[in-house]
Amino acid sequence: DRADSLTEVPTGNCALESAEIPSQVGALNDAAPPPRPPHVLVVEDTDVCARLVRMQLRKLGCTSARAENGEVALDLLRATPPGTYGLVLMDLRMPVMDGF
């Protein structure tokens, strides 16, 4: 019956051998540290919005920089080594150069 098979608990092969536990714990200790939060480029022309976004990013542990429009953002990206910014958050409607 289908209802009986859904309530059955499988047995066997569920217990860990005591010799397996230390090697698994050691593997966890040797694991790489978690990645750092990204450095974010916030491209926003409105001061209040930029401050709010950067404040939320700071709460998430991210560092950030701000550009007032897309042209400034491109200048910053070209002037910094590749990989400096892990993420770019860009407003769609801005003066000079927008996110479209």
Closest CA to 67 of 98, 35, 32: 98
Between 30 and 53, where is the model more confident? 53
Tell me: the pLDDT tens digits for 68-84? 999 999 999 999 999 89
| Distance (Å) of CA 33 to CA 27, 39, 57, 86, 89 | 13, 18, 21, 18, 26
The pTM for the full model equals 0.64
